[in-house]
Amino acid sequence: MTAPALETRGLCKAFGSFVATNAVDLRIAAGSRHAVIGPNGAGKTTLVNLLSGLFRPTSGTVHIDGQDVTRLGQHERVRRGLTRTFQINRLFADMTVLESVAMAVAERQGLGRRFWKPLASYGAVMDEAAQLIEGLRIADAAHSRTRDLAYGKQRIIEIALALASRPRILLLDEPAAGIPTRESRELFATLADFSADTTILLIEHDMDLVFRFADRVSVLVGGALLVEDTPARVASHPLVKEVYLGTAQHV
Partner 1 sequence: MTGVVSPMAAPAALRGAGAWKPAELLFWTLPVIGWFAFPENLPLLTQIAITALFALSLDLVLGVAGMVTLGHAAFFGVGAYAAGMLPAYLGIGDPLLGLVAAAAAAALAGALTSPLMLRGSGLSQLMVSVGINAMLYEAANKATEVTGGVDGLPGVENTPLFGMWSFDLYGRTAYVYAVVVLLLLFWMARRVVRSPFGVSLRGIRLNAARMPALGVPVNRRLAVVWTLAAAYAGVAGALLTQTTQFVSINVLGFDRSAEVLLILILGGAGHLYGALVGAVAYMSIHHLLADIDPEFWQFWIGLIFIVVVLFARDGALGAAARIRDLIRNLILGRGASR
Our CB check for partner 1 shows the closer of 127 and 193 to be 127
Could you tell me if 134 and 48 are in contact, meaning their C-beta atoms sit under 8 angstroms apart? no
x-marked contacts with partner 1 along 132-171 as a string, rule CB under 8 A:
-xx----xx-xxxx--x------------xx-xx------
- Cα 107 to Cα 103: distance, rounded to the nearest angstrom: 6
Q: Which is nearer to partner 1, 17 or 121 (CB)?
A: 121
Q: Which helix (H) or strand (E) holds 105?
A: helix 97-108
For partner 1, give the closer residue by CB, 33 or 108. 108
Distance CA 24, CA 142 (A): 41
The stretch near partner 1 (CB under 8 A) out of 23-31, 38-46, 122-130, 199-207 is 122-130
**Residue 198 binds partner 1, judged by CB under 8 A:** no
Q: How many angstroms separate the CA atoms of 127 and 78, rounded? A: 22
| Whole-angstrom distance, CA of residue 110 vs CA of residue 213 | 32
Would you say 8 or 49 has its CB closer to partner 1? 49
Phi, psi of 36 (to 5 degrees): -115, 120
Residue 195 interacting with partner 1 (CB under 8 A): no
Q: What are phi and psi of 197, to 5 degrees?
A: -95, 0
| Residue 233 sits in the site that holds partner 1 (CB under 8 A) | no
Identify residue 184 by its one-letter amino acid code: S
Candidate residues 98, 159, 201, 202; the one interacting with partner 1 per rule CB under 8 A:
98
3 sits near partner 1 (criterion: CB under 8 A): no
The CA-based angle 72-63-219, given to 5 degrees, is 115
d(Cα 55, Cα 57) in Å, to the nearest integer?
6
71 lines the binding site for partner 1 (CB under 8 A): no
Q: How far is the CB of 62 from partner 1 (least distance, A)?
A: 15
Residues found near partner 1 in the complex (CB under 8 A): 52-54, 73-76, 78-79, 83-84, 86, 90-95, 98-100, 102-104, 106-108, 111-123, 125-127, 129-131, 133-134, 139-140, 142-145, 148, 161-162, 164-165
